[in-house]
């Protein structure tokens, strides 16, 4: 899921992904799943200041 919010002349995006468990995230991100994983081409789409070094993980309590 990609969320977008217009704030004045800026646009903010939030990417939400769903994983089965933290082990699945570690399989993708490595031993420190809080550290962001980026690909070289990501800088073409996101300004450097938007690419933060950390991710936030939440548990899904209810999905419709």
Does residue 49 surpass a pLDDT of 60? no
- What pLDDT score was predicted for residue 19? 95
In a domain, 56, yes or no: no
Are 50 and 38 in contact by the 8 Å Cβ rule? The answer is: no
In a domain, 31, yes or no: yes
Identify the sign of the CA torsion 52, 55, 58, 64. Answer: positive
3-state secondary structure of 22: helix
In a domain, 63, yes or no: no
In a domain, 18, yes or no: yes
In a domain, 11, yes or no: yes
> Domains in the chain: how many in total?
1
In a domain, 62, yes or no: no
Domain with 12 in it:
2-50
Q: Summarize pLDDT for 1-43 with one digit per residue, the tens.
A: 989 999 999 888 888 999 999 999 999 999 999 988 888 888 7
């Amino acid at each position: 899921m990609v969320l977008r919010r217009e704030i004045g002349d800026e646009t903010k995006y939030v990417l939400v992904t769903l994983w089965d468990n933290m082990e699945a995230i570690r399989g993708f991100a490595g031993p420190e799943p809080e550290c962001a994983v980026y690909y070289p081409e990501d800088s073409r789409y996101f300004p450097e200041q938007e690419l933060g070094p950390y991710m936030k993980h939440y548990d899904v309590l209810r999905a419709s």
